[in-house]
Amino acid sequence: MTEIGIPTTDLSGVPEVIPSELAVLDVREDHEWAAGHIAGATHIPLGQLQARVGELDPSARTVVVCHLGGRSARATEWLHAQGHDVVNLAGGMEAWEQAGRPVAT
């Protein structure tokens, strides 16, 4: 599934327990992250992504998440253009939590 050229998946494309070969990048702000995130995710707020992109493995399949999917779509588009293997999670943490998936705090 792709949104306007942005690699995108819905919740059915992401296992409830994230396997070790799949990375998760959370681009929400600090207070959103503190309220709850996917266990094992890397936290880099969208505004810091360009400066901190070196912290990410471009070859690792990465699911990018935010609250609803807007900021993560922008991050996914930019990272994809940089050669990263990324996919945006449509619905973001809102969809994750509504599905009753586990949230770390």
Gap between the Cα atoms of 53 and 45, Å rounded = 11
Q: Is the pTM of this model over 0.85?
A: yes
First to last CA, the chain: 30
Contacts of residue 64, defined as CB under 8 A and 6 or more positions apart, other chains included, come to 24, 25, 27, 72, 75, 76, 79, 86, 87, 88, 89
CATH 3.40.250.10 given to domain 2-98: yes
pLDDT per residue over 34-55, tens digit each?
999 999 999 999 999 999 999 9
- Higher-confidence residue of 4 and 97: namely 97
CA atoms within 13 A on the CB side of 82: 16
Which residues does the annotation mark as catalytic? 66
Mean pLDDT of 69-93: 97
